Amino acid sequence: MGDPERRALHCDITGPARLPGLRRWLREALADPDGDPDGDPDGAADAELVCTELVTNALEHAGGACVVRIVVEGDRVRIAVDDDDARGGLTPGASRLGGHRGRGLALVGALARWGVVAAPAGKTVWAVLPLAPGSGAPASRAPVRRMAAVSAGYATRMTVSPPLTALLLNCTLTPSPAESSTQLMGDKVLAALEKHGVSGSSVRLVDLDVRPGVEKDMGEGDAWPAVRERMLAADVLVVATPTWVGHMSSVASRVMERLDAELSELDDEGRPLTFGKVALVAVVGNEDGAHKITADLFQGLNDVGFTVPAQGGVYWNGEAMTTTDFKDLDETPEAVGTTIATMTTNAVHLASLLRGAPYPAA
């Protein structure tokens, strides 16, 4: 563009009737300063389309109202749409309205870099598009060609973006079917993830014959290979452990020993198979040690390839030298509930970003 001046718009959208005016502002903000339509920047039509899709998505899925913020500056345009729907984990090709809906985000993903950021009372869906100086070619042709390419890729995009999943590794020392405080804490984490559209399952490792060792398979009868298969199929791993003598349980320690094998399991580009997966930690007990356990697990999980989100751990410590367990409480402490909400929101956001933009090969 010939004019590098920053232009910005901030407006409330209460229904689809406001869309034409919004598109008109964006079109004028991106127009060639000399009024030559062939001089409009490449990407102007794409920006208009992305803006329309993000706003329409918010209107249809988030209560019929949103706030739109657009900034045009230099060689890019940034579009942000705020809504009151706290559910994250948006997936191209998957619509909560069902049927053949859900193609809008596939379009957005083909034309722009985009993401979702959790907010105190909802979320922000953003997109950034590059703008190149006009080529002098008829302004309508390039977008049409890009649209054809996007349409041709719908089927592929929709089949490679299934909903996120989570696996809880319960490292309690209490065998089934007895109640487990660790299981209760882990279930609360899974329930919070489910609010973001993440389906979860759990395994109580003490019930299985997980052999000691540092290989992915320690031979006949070893239950770890089946657990590992479920772990590699999940996007989010939750490791939950009780505190014993100030340390994680022996079952949790065995999990970390078995995960050491992942350092040697690489994909075709030399990356550990755990790259792109997010890890959370939950600790319960009636003695000190939660911070050290969390730190040890964070370090080990990150070392074998998992990514830990901001504030990705939760714990509950009961009064020392008493018999009250987490499962004995009448209700979940507010601090625990708030922490779980934060860690799961951040985990879903991070897992969604890593699925769309995996770590590059070194």
DSSP string of 217-244?
--STT-SHHHHHHHHHH-SEEEEEEEEE
CA 301/CA 165 separation, integer angstroms: 18
What pLDDT does 37 receive? 58
What pLDDT does 154 receive? 40
What pLDDT does 124 receive? 84
What pLDDT does 108 receive? 84
CA 313/CA 250 separation, integer angstroms: 19
What would the CATH number be for the domain defined by 7-159? 3.30.565.10
Q: Where in the chain is CATH 3.30.565.10?
A: 7-159
Bridge partner residues of 125 (DSSP): 81, 116
Q: What are the structure tokens assigned to 239, written together?
A: 């490791």
* 61: region left, alpha or beta (phi > 0 left; psi from -120 to 50 alpha): alpha
What residues in the chain have per-residue pLDDT under 70? 1-5, 32-42, 64, 86-103, 119-120, 133-162
CA 216/CA 228 separation, integer angstroms: 8
Does pTM top 0.75 for this prediction?
no
What pLDDT does 97 receive? 41
- 100-123: burial string, b at 16+ Cβ within 10 Å, e else: eebbbbbbbbbbbebebebeeebb
What pLDDT does 141 receive? 39
Architecture in CATH for domain 165-356: 3-Layer(aba) Sandwich (3.40)
What pLDDT does 312 receive? 98
Angle of CA points 195, 198, 203, to nearest 5°:
110
For residue 287, what is the DSSP state? Answer: S
Q: Where in the chain is CATH 3.40.50.360?
A: 165-356
What pLDDT does 338 receive? 96
What pLDDT does 348 receive? 93
